[in-house]
Structure 1
Amino acid sequence: MASAEVRVASTQDVQELCARLLAFNRKASGFGFDESPLQLASHDAEGRLVAGLLGEICAGWLTLHIVWVDPDNRSHGLGSQLLLQAEQQAKAAGAHGVLLDTFDWQAEGFYLRHGYEVFGRLADFPLGHERIYLRKKL
């Protein structure tokens, strides 16, 4: 193979890389790997965003990327409401599990109280802290 130059990927490169990996995964697994976004938001009476959840359903799993509640609105059940609604929507869409990660200063206890289990910890991410990986069967 001839020498290849490594450089910053263009937008077109990124799209092509994703398409090629998706094609490989579909062929290898026989599964579609189509992603379906799951996006929820909660606003107060004045219309201000006070909580939200962003994720996607793919390959039978809901992957949660962001679950956020405004500090002034925590401990009132809003986060639980978001999580429950996301789980219900994911299950209705055919998902059988939920995957997420959090940091040791964030919400591990919250997820444990909602039936999630830790399946991995990555030390020193960032230095002196842990990144925690959790899952839940639906």
Structure 2
Amino acid sequence: MSDVEIYTPTAEEVHSGELGRRMRQFNYGFVGEYGQSQPVWVSARDGSGGLVGGLRGFVFLHWLNVELLFVDESVRRQGVGHRLLAAAEQKARELGARNVTLNTFEWQAREFYLKQGYEEFGRIDNYIQGSYVAYMKKSLRS
């Protein structure tokens, strides 16, 4: 058994980026060098300038990773979600993305994503309080 200590790093250690650099160096041996992740942020506002929706994600290794898509109930079923998603997908294409991935809880927007051309490729049942989380993907290639 080696003399290795497991510990909680300081904020300075985390912000130094050494761990990420070392991981990238390892990965480069398999997939070649790649750039940093690029943010994809899109928002929607109403006629009064109030925020009514938005999407937050990032492009990394030719994939758009959607972290969050939210549309306020006051404007749901009016195409806002579709427009936000389409705008994010276009920005992602411009950044070199070829595919999209996201996850959604059972009570959120699985059916919406299916209508937008996404497919479910995995699911964890009973993720929280008896509900599943669905993992979805879509190709951005024509």
Q: Return the offset for 1:33.
A: 4.3
Residue identity matched to 2:36: D
Q: Does 1:117 align with 2:112?
A: no
Please give the TM-score of this superposition, normalised by the length of structure 1: 0.91
Aligned 8 A contact 2:64 2:92 in 1: yes
Aligned 8 A contact 1:124 1:130 in 2: yes
Q: Distance in 2 between matches of 1:71 and 1:18?
A: 39
Paired position in structure 2 for 1:91:
93
Q: Distance in 2 between matches of 1:124 and 1:21?
A: 32
Work out the percentage of aligned pairs sharing the same amino acid: 38
Q: Distance in 2 between matches of 1:59 and 1:23?
A: 15
Please give the TM-score of this superposition, normalised by the length of structure 2: 0.89
Q: Distance in 2 between matches of 1:97 and 1:88?
A: 11
- Please say which of residues 121-130 and 9-18 is displaced more in the overlay: 9-18
Q: Return the offset for 1:34.
A: 2.0
Structure 1 runs of 4+ aligned residues shifted over 4 Å read none
Residue identity matched to 1:11: A
Aligned 8 A contact 2:123 2:135 in 1: yes
Q: Distance in 1 between matches of 2:38 and 2:132?
A: 29
Q: Return the offset for 1:87.
A: 1.0
Residue identity matched to 1:89: K
Q: Does 1:10 align with 2:10?
A: yes
RMSD: 1.6
Paired position in structure 2 for 1:51:
53
Aligned 8 A contact 2:38 2:95 in 1: no
Q: Distance in 2 between matches of 1:9 and 1:105?
A: 37
1:1-138 equivalence runs, <5 A: 2-14=2-14, 15-138=17-140
Q: Return the offset for 1:136.
A: 0.2
Task: String of CA shifts for 1:3-60, please: whole Å, max 9, x gaps.
Answer: 3332223223333222221222223211404211110111122222110001111111
Residue identity matched to 1:8: T
Aligned 8 A contact 1:42 1:52 in 2: yes
Residue identity matched to 1:28: F
Residue identity matched to 1:101: N
> Equivalent residue of 1:40, what SS?
strand
Task: Give structure 1 stretches of 5+ with no counterpart.
Answer: none
Q: Distance in 1 between matches of 2:63 and 2:33?
A: 13
